[in-house]
């Protein structure tokens, strides 16, 4: 794949825990982060459940001034970046103290909805007469690129700053874009961030109208049921994740701790439909195959897949069929799970947070479970690690993220060998 790339920092803000270790520990313990919506009155909505981040205190990560200037999706990304920077040994008081030139530090943020919740809330206030003015902070709070800009400003980073929005694959595509920046020598270190906070009435109503969301309002904890025969849609989640990547040579030169290697990445488009995946999964198959080919490995070398597995009736079957098609006989030997049974669908944040799960799975040798999988769909006939984590060595893990518009993104992560 060219220059070896490694992960040196990780950060996670999720519905099942804040901080990478807490997030992963709660995943393998079967903690579920879905409940009744608390952020606003959802009692009149067709869907009244979501996976909200709990006990998040932004002032623990940023100044009071910044909390007022940033939308919640930005705050999640910023907090995840703070943890990742500390983990990577890049959390310093001044850019002058960085072990890398500030102009060689890049940032890529992936988000599907940017500041949608703030837009909706502001418009509602104007429409109802609750207020007659719009804050001068409004535009910088809602446009996607300011999430990266705020980190750059606070930390003094002056490298490339990009924002990608490819629906539910946005986070994974942030990592892919970061890989491109390293490959083209545009940066030595890249913060790859996925972040989302779009739980608001208009978004819920829109997705509910499209029959995308689970309607198990009275059973919130078990509403997200990837690969189960009773699944009826995904549960909206939120949060942020950050992976810091750099070339192996650069990381070793500065003495960084290395978590894992990024050995493959790929993107593709179905070219089929704005919301439905291609019925034969051709985009997903192409994406996973290209990712494996880039890594220079065989399908039999993959030990674990963190599936996109959103709990939609169509998507889960098509992803299963795509895995069968590409992996052949090895498909039944794979350990697979969808962590969305616990976290809900974190949208643009999911690709990064689920890649972090893959790194931890490689490090710990514990496969996180697919929660709420009680009655498997006959068309979903692989080993999805139902309801209980299992110990198993994992050397290479794949993370899939597929989104509206036929966006597909796959990442391959490998155990690091110095």
Q: What average pLDDT is seen over the chain?
A: 96
Cβ proximity of 239 and 13 under 8 Å: yes
- Supply the pLDDT for residue 418: 82
The pLDDT score that the predictor gives to residue 92 is 82
What percentage of the chain carries pLDDT values higher than 70? 100
Q: For helices 313-327 and 282-295, what crossing angle results, to 10°?
A: 40
Contact (Cβ atoms closer than 8 angstroms) between residue 239 and residue 56? no
Taking only the tens place, the pLDDT of each residue in 308-339 is: 999 999 999 999 999 999 999 999 999 999 99
Query: Distance of CA 111 to CAs 77, 379, 386, Å?
Result: 10, 31, 29
For the chain, the domains span 5-253, 261-414
Answer whether CATH 3.40.47.10 is correct for domain 261-414: yes
Distance CA 88, CA 132 (A): 45
Give the pLDDT confidence score for residue 1 in this predicted structure: 64
Residue 15's nearest CA partner among 238, 216, 194 is 238
- Residues sharing a CB contact under 8 Å with residue 5, sequence separation 6 or more, in sequence order: 179, 182, 245, 246, 247, 248, 261, 262
Of 409, 291, 306, the residue nearest 361 (C-alpha)? 306
Supply 276's token pair.
């439905």
Angle at 35 between CA 30 and CA 36, to 5 degrees: 175
- Please give the residue that has the higher pLDDT: either 392 or 98: 392
The predicted-structure confidence for 12-50, as pLDDT tens digits, reads as follows: 999 999 999 999 999 999 999 999 999 999 999 999 999
Q: What is the pLDDT of residues 178-223, one digit of tens each?
A: 999 999 999 999 999 999 999 999 999 999 999 999 999 999 999 9
Contact residues for 388 (Cβ-Cβ < 8 A; gap 6+): 30, 369
Q: What is the mean pLDDT of residues 138-150?
A: 96
**Threshold 0.85, pTM exceeds:** yes
Q: Is residue 395 within 8 Å of 334, Cβ to Cβ?
A: no
Q: Alpha carbon of 15 to those of 9, 205, 225: distances in Å? A: 20, 21, 16
pLDDT digits (tens, 9 = 90+) for 228-252: 999 999 999 999 999 999 999 999 9
The β-bridge relationship of strands 304-306 and 396-403 is: parallel
Say whether 261-414 and 5-253 share the same fold: yes
pLDDT score for 2: 75
**Sign of the torsion angle spanned by Cα atoms 343, 349, 354, 357:** negative
Catalytic positions: 168, 308, 345
pLDDT of residue 107: 98
3-state secondary structure the chain: CCCCEEEEEEEEEECCEECHHHHHHHHHCCCCCCEECCCCCCCCCCCCEEECCCCCCHHHCCCHHHHHHCCHHHHHHHHHHHHHHHHCCCCCCCHHHCCCCHHHEEEEEECCCCCHHHHHHHHHHHHHCCCCCCCCCHHHHHCCCHHHHHHHHHHCCCCCEEEECCHHHHHHHHHHHHHHHHHCCCCCEEEEEEEECCCCHHHHHHHHHCCCECCCCCCHHHCCCCCECCCCCECEECEEEEEEEEEHHHHHHCCCCCCEEEEEEEEEECCCCCCCCCCCCHHHHHHHHHHHHHHCCCHHHCCEEECCCCCCHHHHHHHHHHHHHHHHHHHHHCEEECCHHHHCECHHHHHHHHHHHHHHHHHHCEECCECCCCCECCCCCCCCCECCCEECCCCEEEEEEEECCCEEEEEEEECCCC
CATH dotted code for 5-253: 3.40.47.10
């Amino acid at each position: 794949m060219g220059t070896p790339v490694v992960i040196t920092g990780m950060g996670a803000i999720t519905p099942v825990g804040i901080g990478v270790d807490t997030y992963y520990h709660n995943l393998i313990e079967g903690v579920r982060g879905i409940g009744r919506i608390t952020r606003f009155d959802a009692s009149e909505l067709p869907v009244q459940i979501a996976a909200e981040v709990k006990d998040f205190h932004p002032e623990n990560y940023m100044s009071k001034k910044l909390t007022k200037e940033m939308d919640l999706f930005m705050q999640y990304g910023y907090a995840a970046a703070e943890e990742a920077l500390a983990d990577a040994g890049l959390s310093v008081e001044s850019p002058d103290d960085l072990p890398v030139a500030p102009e060689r530090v890049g940032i890529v943020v992936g988000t599907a909805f940017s500041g949608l919740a703030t837009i909706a809330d502001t418009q509602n206030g104007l429409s109802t007469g609750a207020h007659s003015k719009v804050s001068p902070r409004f535009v910088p709070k809602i446009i996607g690129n300011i999430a990266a800009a705020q980190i750059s400003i606070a930390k003094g980073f002056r490298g490339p700053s990009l924002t990608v929005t490819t629906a539910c694959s946005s986070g994974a595509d942030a990592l892919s874009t970061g890989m491109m920046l390293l490959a083209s020598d545009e940066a030595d270190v890249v913060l790859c961030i996925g972040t989302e906070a779009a739980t608001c009435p208009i978004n819920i109503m829109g997705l509910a109208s499209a029959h995308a969301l689970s309607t198990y309002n009275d059973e919130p904890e078990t509403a997200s049921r990837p690969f189960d025969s009773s699944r009826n849609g995904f549960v909206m989640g939120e949060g942020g994740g950050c992976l810091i990547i750099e070339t192996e040579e650069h990381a070793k030169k500065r003495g960084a701790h290395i978590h894992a290697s990024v050995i493959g990445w790929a993107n593709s488009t179905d070219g089929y439909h704005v919301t439905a995946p291609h019925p034969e999964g051709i985009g997903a198959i192409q994406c996973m195959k290209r990712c494996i080919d880039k890594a220079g490995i065989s399908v039999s070398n993959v030990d674990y897949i963190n599936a996109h597995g959103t709990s939609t009736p169509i998507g889960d079957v098509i992803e299963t069929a795509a895995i069968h098609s590409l992996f052949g006989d090895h498909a039944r030997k794979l350990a697979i799970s969808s962590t969305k049974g616990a976290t809900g669908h974190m949208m643009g944040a999911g690709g990064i947070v689920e890649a972090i799960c893959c790194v931890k799975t490689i490090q710990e040798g514990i496969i996180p479970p697919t929660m709420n999988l009680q009655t498997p769909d006959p068309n979903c006939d692989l080993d999805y690690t139902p309801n209980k984590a299992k110990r198993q060595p994992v050397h290479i893990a794949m993370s899939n993220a597929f989104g509206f518009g036929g966006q597909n993104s796959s990442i391959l992560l490998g155990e690091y060998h110095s």
